[in-house]
């Protein structure tokens, strides 16, 4: 079977990606990254960001809540310091970008016009910033605006990562599609909160984003919903821990999947997911991804 998948103008060796924010820039774990379809980098903003005060992570049965707050070196230092190391990766590199205005998104994407950047993922869904982020992602017209601006600024494969916080992702997915996106990632973390022993917010930033296996049933529902609303490919994300989980997302209509939180528990998790998915497909004698993708709706 040919394991390749194509999104926009980019062909990936297999459908498993490491999700943004849970794999650094792919450089710490290059040996794992190189065997995946690709890596989605930690989000890049125009200016450097130091991120939110600690604690930035807490755990609950079935998942975690994080509030990193887009800590990153900014576009310029990404180009000078990070990109040279990223160049050595042998897998596809999708750079996640987060702007605080539609213009910033355009500027970021223009600044990433480099051969090593295979695709761009627009982050209109970060739950851990006070402006932009999920606020953009809750408004279909804003998603359309940002996507159109970026579409006109780059020929690269364009993915829009959506939120399901207080918005129907089918609506924002349609907006992204109308503006020329090549795919949508469904979903980013959900808003969450935890209290400490004294009844105060546990996280330094008060609130965070929920991820991990607890998210999977809802994420699967969202993928099913979005995949029946748009024609562009859907990249499923949310609580994938195993090959079965990944296959469930394909069955719901996803063409690719992203493994996130699982990598925090085990740096080889995304690779294990890919190997298990492959084994399942062999066992089922699958000959092409299209046999699996969206079969839950046939």
Partner 1 sequence: MSPVTAPVVQARRLAAGVFSVWIRQAGLAQKSKPGQFLNVRVLDGLDALLRRPISIADKQGDRLRLVFRTVGRGTEWLSRRRAGDSLDILGPLGRPAPTPTGKDVFLVGGGIGAAPLLFLCRRLAARNRLQVFLGARDKGHLILRREFRDTGSPVRIATDDGSAGQRGMVTELAEPVVKQARSPVVYACGPKPMLAELSRCLDPIPVLGFVEERMGCGTGICYCCALERKAGGYIRFCQDGPVVLLNEVKL
Which residues form the catalytic set? 126
Determine, following the binding rule CB under 8 A, whether residue 200 of this chain makes contact with partner 1: no
Contact call for residues 218 and 238 (beta carbons, < 8 A): yes
Nearer to partner 1, 150 or 270 (CB): 270
Q: Do the bridges between strand 183-186 and strand 38-40 make them parallel or antiparallel, or are there none, so unpaired?
A: unpaired
Does residue number 9 form part of the binding site for partner 1 (CB under 8 A)? no
| 2 binding partner 1? (CB under 8 A) | no
Does 74 participate in binding partner 1 (rule CB under 8 A)?
no
Distance between CA atoms of residues 94 and 167, nearest Å: 25
Number of residues that bind partner 1 (CB under 8 A): 34
Q: For partner 1, give the closer residue by CB, 89 or 227.
A: 89
In the block, tokens 């990153």 appear at: 72
Strands 234-237 and 92-97: unpaired
Query: Taking Cα atoms as reference points, which of 167, 168, 157, 154 lies closest to residue 17?
Result: 157
DSSP secondary structure letters along 257-284: EEE-THHHH-TTHHHHHHHHHHHHHHHT
Nearer to partner 1, 23 or 136 (CB): 23
> Among residues 15, 37, 38, 63, which is the contact residue for partner 1, using CB under 8 A?
63
Please identify, among the stretches 6-14, 100-108, 161-169, 257-265, the one whose residues bind partner 1 according to the rule CB under 8 A: 257-265
Binding residues for partner 1 (CB under 8 A): 21-24, 28-29, 42, 50-59, 61-64, 66, 68, 71, 212-213, 241, 261, 263-268
């Amino acid at each position: 079977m040919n394991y390749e998948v194509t999104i926009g103008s980019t062909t990936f060796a297999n459908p498993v990606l490491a999700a943004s924010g849970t794999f650094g820039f792919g450089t710490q774990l290059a040996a794992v990254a190189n065997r995946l379809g690709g890596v989605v980098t930690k989000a890049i903003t125009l200016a450097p960001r130091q991120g939110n005060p600690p604690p930035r992570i807490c755990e609950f049965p079935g998942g975690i809540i994080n509030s990193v707050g887009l800590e990153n070196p900014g576009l310029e230092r990404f180009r000078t310091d990070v990109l040279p190391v990223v160049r050595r990766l042998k897998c596809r590199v999708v750079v996640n970008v987060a702007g605080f205005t539609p213009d910033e998104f355009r500027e970021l994407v223009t600044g990433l016009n480099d051969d090593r950047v295979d695709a761009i993922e627009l982050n209109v869904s970060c739950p851990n910033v006070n402006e932009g982020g999920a606020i953009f992602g809750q408004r279909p017209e804003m998603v359309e605006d940002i996507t159109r601006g970026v579409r006109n600024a780059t020929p690269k494969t364009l993915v829009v990562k959506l939120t399901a916080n207080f918005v129907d992702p089918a609506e924002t997915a349609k907006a992204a599609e109308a503006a020329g996106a090549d795919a949508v990632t469904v979903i980013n973390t959900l808003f969450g909160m935890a209290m400490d022993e004294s009844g105060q917010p546990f996280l330094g930033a008060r609130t965070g984003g929920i991820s991990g296996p607890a998210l999977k049933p809802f994420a699967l529902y969202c993928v099913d919903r979005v995949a029946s609303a748009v024609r562009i490919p859907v990249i499923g994300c949310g609580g994938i821990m195993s090959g079965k989980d990944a296959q469930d997302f394909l069955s719901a209509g996803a063409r690719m999947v992203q493994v996130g939180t699982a990598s925090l528990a085990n740096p080889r998790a995304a690779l294990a997911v890919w190997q298990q998915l492959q084994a399942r497909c062999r066992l089922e004698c699958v000959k092409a991804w299209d046999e699996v993708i969206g079969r839950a709706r046939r």
